[in-house]
Structure 1
Amino acid sequence: MPMFSRFRYIVFTVALLSGPVCAGPRADLSAFTRGLKTLQGHFSQEIIDTQGRVKERSNGTVALSLPNLLRWECDAPYKQLVVADGKRVWLFDPDLNQASVRLQGNEERNSPLIALIDPIQLDLKYDVSEEVAMRDGLRWLSLRPRVGIEASFQSASFGFAQTQLARMELVDNLGQRTVIVFSGWQRNPVFAVDTFRFTPGKNVDVIGDR
């Protein structure tokens, strides 16, 4: 599988929200993100094609820090690492001993995960609605990018179990669906200084502009 295909989920990962308090999943999101500066947890992910077939499964850990730092690390079925350090995004595949690097740009700034760490962005960038009925035992908040916002997804949904973010679902511009299940959230952990840094080894093949 091409390296960039493996790392396509980078666009799903940089956000924390604190919207106005009201009944429903919007209030759940507000409660979940209130006072957050850093966040860490586990994920399992499926990418599903337009025919409903699962193309890819993975699991690992995710770490976020204000204002725009991300570490997304896959443990299985293969090792992969994404690090957004505030200026650049590094994508590292240890099996290929290859890293790609690009400037951190609109894809990250317009990620729905930004709603988790930058509360102001939610209503500025998205049309937000609450799903009336519960689905899979969760309460859902749906986001669609506003006209003029560059985004690589058509819609995103946050699923809450009470005030805990349990799931995120995204539909990309090709109609593929990504389902991410979260667990083991740690609020405001203190990260090591190198958590959001990536330095390629001497023999790593680097693609892109450093």
Structure 2
Amino acid sequence: MNFLERSYFLLLLSLFASIAEAGAISSLKTFVQDTRTVRAAFIQTVLDKNMRTVQRGGGTMQFERPGKFRWVYEKPYEQLIVGDGTRIWFYDRDLDQVTVRKLDLAIGTSPAALLAGSSNIEADFDLTEIGLQGDTEWLEAKPKAKEGTFEWVRLGFSPTGELKAMELHDNFGQTTVLTFSRVEQNPKLSAELFKFSPPQGADVISD
């Protein structure tokens, strides 16, 4: 899984809400039911199997369910991921390269489906309460399908139900950690945020 693909899977998992519910699983289910749009800043850290940092980045994101999002990486490289409801566009500015995929094929039972898919989360994932660690309540989600690219996803909520952090452990032994700030739940977002046209001269790759 390359950096942009990993970022996309994490994208939809990084959407969160201020939810006054007891327990991380309850908070997740309430989020899926009640949250339509999100705007936030994020920091992303990728760790190898020995838990050493191999990459660190950050930026901003906006999201509108179902299937529309804009994920902007400001560092370490300028990259953009846009979902327009039917397709996902990955743009690497340094390479001047665009990759486009069908939205339904890209989501499937990926981590993105936890928050962007149907409200019937437990049809595709086994959810387990991990419990309180410090001031964070954690849950773990494991995909029921075995052909995916990740083993588990963990979501951490504050005592008031706001999602504070997310961890993804993939089949290559790497762990990606997202932390969030400047959270806005259900803001009004412009439709233009979720439109993308490849820059003139860019190399376009499609499935």
- Report the TM-score, using the length of structure 2 for normalisation: 0.86
- SS of the residue 1:14 aligns to: helix
Return 5+ residue gaps in structure 2 as ranges: none
Q: Is the 8 A contact 2:33 2:119 kept in 1?
A: no
- Separation in structure 2 between the aligned mates of residue 121 and residue 85 of structure 1, nearest angstrom: 23
- Separation in structure 1 between the aligned mates of residue 114 and residue 30 of structure 2, nearest angstrom: 13
Q: Which residue of 2 aligns with 1:201?
A: 199
Q: Is the 8 A contact 1:126 1:145 kept in 2?
A: yes
Q: Which residue of 1 aligns with 2:2?
A: 5
- Separation in structure 2 between the aligned mates of residue 13 and residue 149 of structure 1, nearest angstrom: 21
Q: Which residue of 2 aligns with 1:14?
A: 12
Q: Which residue of 2 aligns with 1:64?
A: 63
Deviation at 1:23, TM superposition (A): 3.6
Q: Is the 8 A contact 2:16 2:162 kept in 1?
A: no
Choose from 182, 189, 201 the match for 1:191: 189
Deviation at 1:158, TM superposition (A): 0.5
Q: Which residue of 1 aligns with 2:80?
A: 81
Q: Is the 8 A contact 1:110 1:125 kept in 2?
A: yes
Q: Which residue of 2 aligns with 1:122?
A: 121
Choose from 179, 182, 188 the match for 1:181: 179
Deviation at 1:28, TM superposition (A): 3.0
- State the one-letter code of the partner of 1:42: A
Q: Note if 1:152 corresponds to 2:163.
A: no
Deviation at 1:136, TM superposition (A): 4.5
Q: Which moved more, 1:26-35 or 1:87-96?
A: 26-35
Deviation at 1:176, TM superposition (A): 0.8
Return 5+ residue gaps in structure 1 as ranges: none
- SS of the residue 1:194 aligns to: helix
- Separation in structure 2 between the aligned mates of residue 151 and residue 190 of structure 1, nearest angstrom: 34
